[in-house]
Amino acid sequence: MTILCVRFQLPPTREADLPRLLGMLEEFTPVVQALPPDGALADLRGAERYFGRNAVELASVIRVRSLALYGVDCVIGAGPGPMLARVALRDAVPGVTCAVPEEQGAIAEFLADKPVAALPGVGAATARTLGDYGLDTLGRVAAAPLSTLQRLIGAKAGRELHEKANGVDRGRVVPNAVSRSLATERPFDRDELDPDRHRRALLSAAEEIGARLRALEKVCRTLTLTVRYADRSATTRTRTLTEPTAHSPDLTRAAYGMYEALGLQRARVRAIALRAEGLDPADQASHQLTFDPVDEKVRRIEEVADRARAKFGPRAVMPGGLGSVAA
């Protein structure tokens, strides 16, 4: 096992600490890939030889150092490749690193009973399509003919899924930096199944992100949605916006679009988070002019609402969809 997938248990108010935690990982290996808002992949092939410890032992050291230096616990999955490490993370708990064995037969056994959605990149819609044909576990997908998978989900996607279900991990850790970003999260008091409440949470989060961007005189180029479920798993989707913006209705439409694309049905959602990334100064951003008077009117109303919130508090002006029920 040479790859670690680490998820730091950062509350939304401390997501700015992620770069420092990544720096701590880089004390073990320079090959670290950020997985915002709270995770990272680390390739420990060189570190295992240098420190004379295997990846699981180094994972214990990383957890102790994270707690001691930053007061942040973490969960860690380990595996021969990035994909397998991310699957292992689903079964990890604080203090116990979940490790995928390196032997091919043991890898197949580890994956066999996992749901299809456990694979990174497999969304709810794909999992539902496969489930309709009885392919609801990775073991069944691995045993299915490649041609069947390709007919169901497409040639390229079917081939990649077949390889991953059989434990073939062609991924690699690509060092990167955490984007300049703003994030907010809306946790629910209980595991929430109601799509209307999911959408209200999205509306509330997009409004907050937009207001914060405008206060900083920034615009964002991409928006990332993270949906956390009752089983501690999560789905993350990122969308590049048509143009950089801090306009709350634009952010809300993008958030709704990503949410609808997940195809969630009766999903038990624990929290919904939005992250605005690729921040640039607002005065350097271009804006497509429009002859629609409604758009200009909405933007003027937004400016007035921002001034009211700055003077009387963030709840002084709210969208009608949030007026009766707080998200």
Mind listing the pLDDT tens digit of every residue in the chain (327 residues)?
689 999 999 876 676 678 889 989 999 999 999 887 789 999 998 899 889 999 999 999 999 999 999 999 999 999 999 999 999 999 999 889 999 988 888 999 999 999 999 998 888 889 999 999 999 999 999 999 999 999 999 999 999 999 999 999 998 998 876 656 788 889 999 999 999 999 999 999 999 898 888 888 889 999 999 999 988 888 999 999 999 999 989 999 999 999 999 988 888 999 999 989 888 888 776 655 555 565 666 667 677 666 766 666 555 556 656 654 444
* Helical H segments across the chain, by residue range: 18-25, 45-51, 55-70, 82-89, 104-112, 124-131, 138-143, 146-153, 155-165, 195-215, 248-262, 293-312, 320-323
202 within 8 A of 113, measured Cβ to Cβ: no
Q: What is the DSSP letter of 283?
A: G
pLDDT of residue 287: 54
Cis peptide before 37 (omega within 30 of 0): yes
How far are the Cα atoms of 34, 71, 152, 185, 201 from residue 10, in angstroms, in the given order?
14, 10, 38, 11, 20
* Cα–Cα distance measured from residue 79 to residue 4, given in angstroms and rounded to the nearest whole number: 7
Dihedral of CA atoms 9, 12, 15, 17 in degrees, nearest 10, equals -70
Q: Give the pLDDT score at 75.
A: 96
With vertex at residue 168, the alpha carbon angle to CA 163 and CA 170, rounded to the nearest 5 degrees, is 105
- Cβ partners under 8 Å of residue 320, min gap 6: none
pLDDT value of position 293: 60
Structure-block tokens of residue 22: 């990544």
Q: Could you give the angle at the alpha carbon of 303 between the alpha carbons of 297 and 307, nearest 5°?
A: 145
Residue 327 is predicted with a pLDDT of: 40
Contacts of 36 by beta carbon, 8 Å cutoff, 6+ apart: 15, 18, 178, 179, 181, 183, 224, 275, 277
Helix residue spans in 231-318 (DSSP H): 248-262, 293-312
Question: Strand, coil or helix: what is 202?
Answer: helix
Q: What pLDDT was estimated at residue 57?
A: 94
Per-residue confidence (pLDDT) for residue 37, from 0 to 100: 77
